[in-house]
Amino acid sequence: MKKLILSALMLISGFCQATDKTNQYAYGAMIETSNDSNMYSRIDLTSDVYTQALSSRLDDIRVFNHKGQPVPYALVNVYQRDDVNQIFQVTIYDLDKNQEHRQEKQSKQGTEQYNININNKDVQISLDNTNSQEQYYATYLLQVPNGIKLEQAISRLSIDFDTAESQNWQATAKLLYSQDLSNWQTALNNVPVMSLVDNNNEQSLKVNVIDIPSNTNYKAKYWILQLKSEQQTIPTIKKVKFISRKAPPKIALYPINFELASSDEQEAFYQLPTPQPVKELSISLQNSRTVLPISVYYKSNDKDQIWHKLDDYIIRRVTNTDQSPNIKINDPDLQIKQLKIKANNASFDQAPQVVAYRSRMSLIFNSGNNGPFILAWGSAKAKSAALSEKALLSDSLSAQDLPAAYLGENIKLAGKKALAQTIKDSNTTNSYLPKWLIWICLVIGAIVLIIIALKLLNEVKNS
């Protein structure tokens, strides 16, 4: 009896529960898949989705199959990779090239001192003396050229030795770094370098590359390379190339143009279709050879009554192709719907053009069965239903490796009435069952609960 009553209650609650339906969303588009045999597909979202979805986090997005059933999906960031390394040749100073330096350093116990002219300045370099008279050694100062700006840490040194001096030798390398030629820190020690040639068997082994561990962040301008050998004279270094580490992937950004609402010579007002989590702003002057000091203000939504100041900036445009760099916004929670630009002690004939940049997103979904699919978006009722990438995909899959799908023909769904509905309105107008049937379910449920209560009361009396 109890199992029967419990089943009846679950059936009633199931009928009364509203589920996602396509008619609860304002906009939709067909999804065109490129690989029907694959279990998953990936969609790059379009401008319409970003600007028409009510949620800035894209909570009101769904994928439906041909039966109108929601399909599991996840929203993931799109990353842009910079696969280009910085490769450049450094300036080499042979600190052991004359006998005077060698005699001077040997006279001072425990310290090696070198006097050298760098960039027309006399500099003294002091290093700990770890060499013995029985060893062969060579010491070089390596300088990153002034015109090189290190974007990433150094990851590798490639050394070109003079093979005419010797083709068979072995040594160990010690690498130190400094920013000021005074305070030296050890980066690596006892790294093997060698050149071994077997002319009879026409075999050779060359180790002339020093890898720097990936967990370091060395961006020093000056480096000391010390080479030591127990048996052979070390060939002279002809040149050294530095290779920087590849930049870590960055989240790609998607541009959304601000619409100019009004302007005069001092102020310009802009707006976006919906609030956006803006990461960068691009403000472009219309006229070249112009410098404009400005203050930038924003409102997070249309109900916001106060203009919040973002900051003061100086925007310039020297030539027709020149523009000021984008303004980076460090607040990850900042939402912008309206923008105001105010000229400070200046004016503009034409209002600047403004572009907002938000994080670019991809949607991945289970496309293995029940196609074709549609993407629906724009709903005042919808809550977040996206899974995490890890929950949707197996560990062996990456979102970037999935076959691409594309948004095709637009589909007419509920239209703007889905955007204007409140949660209460949408529950009453778009419920899975009519209102009168829901009331019947509630009454039946109440009666069943009364019956259960009476049965429990009788059992208590009998006991």
Where along the chain do the CATH 2.60.120.260 domains lie? 253-359
Q: How far is CA 379 from CA 25, 214, 415, in A?
A: 5, 46, 10
- Whether pLDDT at 3 is above 60: no
Structure confidence at residue 463 (pLDDT): 67
Per residue in 220-247, pLDDT (tens digit) is 899 999 999 987 788 999 999 999 877 7
Across 341-367, average pLDDT: 94
- Whether pLDDT at 99 is above 60: no
Q: What is the CATH number of domain 87-244?
A: 2.60.120
Across 140-156, average pLDDT: 89
33-47, 126-140, 252-266, 444-458: which is most confident: 252-266
Structure confidence at residue 109 (pLDDT): 56
- Whether pLDDT at 143 is above 70: yes
Structure confidence at residue 307 (pLDDT): 97
Structure confidence at residue 421 (pLDDT): 59
Per residue in 62-88, pLDDT (tens digit) is 999 988 999 999 999 998 876 677 899
Structure confidence at residue 10 (pLDDT): 35
- Whether pLDDT at 358 is above 90: yes
Q: How far is CA 85 from CA 14, 156, 223, 248, in A?
A: 58, 11, 19, 11
Across 95-117, average pLDDT: 64
DSSP-based three-state secondary structure for 4? helix
- Whether pLDDT at 425 is above 50: no
User: DSSP letters of 47-113?
Assistant: HHHHHH-S-TT--SEEEE-TTS-B--EEEEE-EE---PPPEEEPEEEETTSSHHHHHHHHTSTTEEE
Partner residues linked to 373 by β-bridges: 31
Structure confidence at residue 16 (pLDDT): 43
Homologous superfamily, domain 253-359: Galactose-binding domain-like (2.60.120.260)
Per residue in 268-325, pLDDT (tens digit) is 999 999 999 999 999 999 888 889 999 999 999 999 999 999 999 999 988 877 777 8
- Whether pLDDT at 332 is above 80: yes
Structure confidence at residue 5 (pLDDT): 41
**Per mean pLDDT, which range of 188-202, 229-243, 409-423 is the poorest?**
409-423
| Rounded Cα gap, residues 439 and 261, in angstroms | 48
Strands of the 353-359 sheet, one edge to the other: 253-257, 353-359, 278-284, 327-328
Higher pLDDT pick, 304 / 3: 304
- Whether pLDDT at 356 is above 90: yes
Nearest to 5 by CA among 437, 438, 439, 449: 449
Higher pLDDT pick, 390 / 84: 390
